[in-house]
Structure 1
Amino acid sequence: MTSTETSIDLTGRSGVITGAGSGIGRALAEEFGARGAHLLLVGRREQALRETASAVVRAGGTAEVLAVDITAEGSVEKVADVARTVLGRVDLLVNNAGNVRAGRLEDCDPTDVLAMVSLNLTAPILLTRALLPDLRAAAEPPRRSIVLDIASGIALVPLPFYTTYAATKTGLAAFGHALRRELHGTGVHVASGYLGAMATAMMDSSTAGEDLGFGRRSVQDVVTDLVDALGRGEHEINTSLPSRRAMQRLHATDPLAVDADLAPRLTAFESAVRDHRSI
């Protein structure tokens, strides 16, 4: 599943990270900060973004903050305009912001469905579109620009009770594949991160554990694997635990076998994830 090119220099990056106020977004900002990055941190909570900015500075980088809901009308253009103004050069875009609402589809409020589609799929597509001219312009051989989309392991095995979330993350992964092919030879490296469950606030409302394929990894371990793989020039980066990878392999060859494997645990699975919500 992983393809590689030459390694990518991650030092001195200048770019945008969405969902940067906590969790994987904050940890990625610190990692790039440690490599001398100048970042525009985007999210809804200004105080949380400022805390991330302080962490970036302590790590060795610099950061600006922009508190905005990227699903709101005109917000994508605002992010792009601010990035050009405060960064000058944009050679990094991390589409990380996302939300989740688990449970039976018929019990999911339509506003939650629309919120997941808007933040997990529509916003990263539109933000990438807005910044592509800048990313292209900043790609000067041998240095490449980077688009990193934070998808999910659920994009590799769509799970019951995550129907809309699975659709959005699978869509984001497909977007990455198509864009990578579209930008072949332009110097813009497009990568997708298939992240498994992590010990973050986003997972606090779920009680699903290792027995259901949701064993938690630490955020730092996941970010280390993600950044190391990105530096090696990988396009498809899977940070899932071995138990989930086994299910991914089975789904790729015999998806109905996954159905049969999950069927005896559906009631327990639904009970564990029905309150999983970060919207």
Structure 2
Amino acid sequence: MTAVSKMSPPLLDLRERRTLITGAGSGIGRALALELASRRGVLALAGRRAEPLAETAALVAERGGIAHPITADLTADGEPDRVVAAAVEALGGLDVLINNAGNVRAAPLEDIDVADIRAMVALNLLAPVLTTRAALPHLRAAGAAHGNAALVGISSAAGLVGTPFYATYAATKAGVMRFGEALRRELYGSGIHVASVYPGPVDTPMMATTRAGADLGYGLRPVDEVVAEIVAGLEERRIDINTQLPERRAMQELNARDPLAVDAALAPKLAELRAAVSTHRSI
């Protein structure tokens, strides 16, 4: 009997794709915009502040891409629909949606203001759900036309392993993960590649207010390295793109085998960790 080899799917072609990136004013969002600009991407850049978006747009142009800034608060009523409509109008359609916008507040749960809890749920989870809902007809059209459409959710290492003092943040990022997984199955055969991304701590403005360092498991990776891995993973059509440092991957693996062992390993540093992360806020 002749063996039949299982062929890998063709690479996801990200050249000249029409892409909407949320949270594009800084950090991972800006770096993704620049990486796609090097592939001559045509980009819609959404974010709350006009000046950082304009800076990103200028950098995109320097890299050979085209950028259309869209100033918006995705947590406001109707804004996800408006942003998608504005992106489609500017780009002439939509091939890729990257749900990147996010915020964080770390502290013991009872010390976090209710407003900050609501803000995390609204931006980290509800906004990508509603933005995706608005974008799906356009992504379906692109998938049917060329099979290189993509839907990308930026989750977090915290979505894989619940870490102390990040309970609400972890819940929202785990939600992003399961949302993507369910939609991937829902969209099977549509020509839309669905991927979830799991960065560990990254050297971006979002991390500027934490005092936790490598000794507590929060060593920072350069944003350009992380984003290069994300885009390479997308081009390889990977569904889970994990950019964590080895020590955090080890904790993830231990958590899958023996979650109580993770509890015990974290316990001796709980007080130190609490003090270090309780300043962490980007809302």
Q: What's the TM-score, normalizing by structure 2? A: 0.96
For 2:205 and 2:84, locate their aligned partners in 1 and report how far apart those are by CA, in whole Å: 28
Pairs within 5 Å for 1:196-215: 196-215=200-219
CA offsets per residue over residues 228-276 of structure 1, 9 Å max, x none? 1111110100000001000000011111110000011100110110010
Paired residues, number: 276
Aligned partner (choices 134, 139, 150) of residue 146 of structure 1: 150
Match of residue 81 from structure 1: 85
- Aligned residue number for residue 272 of structure 2: 268
Q: Which moved more, 1:21-30 or 1:143-152?
A: 143-152
Instruction: State whether residues 5 and 234 of structure 1, in contact with CA within 8 Å, keep that contact through their aligned partners in structure 2.
Output: no
What letter is aligned with 1:272?
Answer: A
Q: Structure 1's 38 and 176: CA in aligned 2 closer, same or farther, altered over 3 A?
A: same
**In structure 2, how many angstroms separate the alpha carbons of the residues matched to 1:200 and 1:142?**
34
More displaced 10-residue stretch of structure 1: 205-214 or 18-27: 205-214
CA contact (8 A) 2:147 2:192 kept: no
Aligned with 1:130 (options 123, 131, 134): 134
C-alpha distance after superposition, 1:154-173 (max 9, x if no partner): 11111010000000000000
- Is residue 2:262 matched to residue 1:254? no
Counting only pairs closer than 5 Å after superposition, residues 151-170 of structure 1 correspond to structure 2 as 151-170=155-174
Q: 1:6: Cα distance to partner?
A: 3.3
Q: RMSD over aligned Cα, in angstroms?
A: 1.0
Asked if residue 185 in structure 1 is aligned to residue 198 in structure 2, the reply is no
Alignment partner, residue 239 of structure 1? 243
Residue 217 (structure 1) aligned with residue 254 (structure 2)? no
Q: Which amino acid aligns with 2:235?
A: G
After TM superposition, where is structure 1 displaced by more than 6 Å over at least 4 residues in a row? Answer: none
1:89 CA drift (Å): 1.6
The reply to whether residue 13 of structure 1 matches residue 17 of structure 2 is: yes
How far did 1:141 drift?
6.0
Counterpart in 2 of 1:38? 42
Q: Deviations over 1:39-87 (max 9, x none)?
A: 1100000011010001111111101011110110110111121112111
Q: Which runs of 5+ in 2 are unaligned?
A: 1-7
Normalised TM-score (structure 1): 0.97
Structure 1 stretch displaced more, 132-141 or 154-163: 132-141
Structure 1 unaligned blocks of 5 or more: none
Q: Which amino acid aligns with 1:89?
A: G
Q: Greater CA deviation, 141-150 or 246-255? A: 141-150
1:27 maps to: 31
Residue 196 of structure 1: SS of its match in structure 2?
coil
1:15 CA displacement: 1.7
Distance 1:121 1:68 in 2: 16
C-alpha displacement of 1:143: 3.0
Helix, strand or coil at the partner of 2:168? helix
State the match for 1:176 in structure 2: 180
User: Structure 1 stretch 76-85 or stretch 27-36: which is displaced more?
Assistant: 76-85
The SS at the match of 1:224 is helix
Work out whether residues 33 and 62 of structure 1, in 8 Å CA contact, stay in contact via their aligned partners in 2. Answer: yes
- Asked if the contact 2:14/2:148 (under 8 Å) is kept, the reply is no
Aligned partners of 2:144 and 2:190 also within 8 Å: no
**CA distance in structure 2 between the aligned counterparts of 1:170 and 1:39, rounded to whole angstroms:** 27
